[in-house]
Chain A
């Protein structure tokens, strides 16, 4: 019998399905993947160090640019961790506004991902449809913050802008529309033969594996673990009746369904937040330098838990800022999911954890 030949196929750093540079060295036997070695570092900039060199208020803008897709939540989280360092509480209206913008960015991120997933298995029309819906949310963001992608809306002590009643009405209309259209398109995603053929039973991550590997976000919730940082009730989530969304199967399909349902849930959260938002101040003045102390903050990004740690030393600069991002927790899961699959399924499975390399490598 002839020996099975092993081939090593590089996946990345420049690859059509990934907008970002990561390399996976995939060892195959025929079409079957037997081993995967990730090579990261293509996106490393040194943001944590840069945050020590700059004044602490300027770091908001650097932290927002850790990742452009979830930039709003990065900015909010940095502000929250500094507020905790100072020990100040922001006005309730600011908390609601942060929730509204965070949820908008979650919708935009999930719709973007659903589109990319469709693109990964060649369903180009669905890619276009999801991105068409997403543009509406970006319009709402532009209307309320002035920017499509990097909003820079949080400041230390609150938020930079208010949403007035006219904008609020427009936003509510947009969110309702987005919800309706996502529901319709979601039916296609859930029932389409092609989608199922490419995702059901592919890239399985069991509940035990997900817990042992410390996964986060939809990857974890797609494997039947009800864990979501929003359950802590930070910002205004405690008042909004939030329930995590869980799917049982742990395959790529389950993860897609989690994200689809979360998109709809985020629409509901925004509508609810708009109905409950209190009047009042949107920011307070925070004076002085960060005290010599430590603070942590955990928030739920579209991709999972993000962890911020800040240490002050009484000067304008921080002693240390540490960010732990969700994709870092999910890459080990990828190494469990990939071996045993077909080479053609690699793009879909890689996408199913929604990798965000610029977050991971900072």
Chain B
């Protein structure tokens, strides 16, 4: 009998921190000690806390181990599996009490989540259809095909209140009904797995950890809407997700869960994958369909909507990965079970990807209506290094930035919109006091400007103009009139752009102007970057009291602009030649390099007589 399952996270995060080596070591050690018939190793999808990886979860005890390396494995096996006590070295610690946490249940990161979409992620072997079936997989499909009419399924989805997870939050049941009512055939379904937001990996985790849930959702959708074929559009940058999805599709066909006459009914459904080259705009539904058709991925005006004229001109319905993956749970447990989660307007749970200046980066799933504070501080563990929270950007590159005074906002589509941001697909980038809000706006605008497909001028030209102004301000060359120009341009780009890319791209500028205008003004009026980020506005000076004359700064300066003070064991930075790269600050061990952004108030320290750096062969320019 197998007495224990060791779940080794095989999500992309843990893969890159080395979970393969840990798997191998575990297998070896368990065999060596004759435990391989008692203890099973299961490779799962993402468990969530990616920065703690490689992570391991041991059942039935529920013990969670973090940052496991192959070298730890022998001791871990000895302690946990032979002697039956948790291996303290790899246990997480409670932030407040500093006590070790022995079970996953007690770990704040997990304890405060509500997992519906991620219920199987990190629990089952995604490459084994039987494990999905063991967890009631394909039961919803079986019930639907044998006992329900398509219209009943749509009614159930409508009643559940499920809204699309791709960003706009459109009611899924309503969209399905549009497709069901469309007269033309054949009809198609698409799963949007493009996930182009940098830093977002909610969809990847589902595809890698529970691919059958996506397939089952699509097949149910096919039955409800009368579609006969489904396409999963996935970006080439997700090789592991592609691999697991293909395995899942193959296994579903082998088990007669895809293909002809499913569950001995006359309903047939096929699914295939289409690999995208990874352009942000190809996540937009009309561009995505063109891309599947083999044409250039550019959006087109709606109407006609996909349900009227979609893929190859046929009625089509597109939903996001997470939307599809939610469907089986709703059918299995009922719409009224599902709609008890969430808020009045938005039902259910949402997966968020926490990134940036936050202690626990990774994936979390919480009911809609959970506040930003609960997510960032409760689950995310707050800001590391004793720094202060400054803002959180929700919704990906074209989302807005939300400041501390709105931390108690419940997260749902409407509330975020009111603050000038969006839900997007669920990215959350946390920023602390070291982030410059003008630089943040510049960074995201640069992304959207790059990713603009160029079809419509407001987006193509407008984002570039906004970016130019932001770059100017960051370089300390901005004017106060620029702020008005930014606001005008932002409004025009939003109003006049063809697709969601341009319509949302100005959000970072608008929200930073709304909440952090003083920072823009400091850049423009005082030539000062308060967060000390914008390179053009920084100065580096050597603090003589701390400098011991070790010369390491001078040796690392790429422009040879640090020289020795003549006859003294001190160094001096010639500011005119300094490119503010910060290399000296990084290498100095004596706290002698002073980074500042005092702007117009900056006083250049008097220049002493200088001499070359001993042993360094460079021309003295001064």
Co-complex (A, B): no
List A residues at the B interface (Cβ < 8 Å). Answer: none
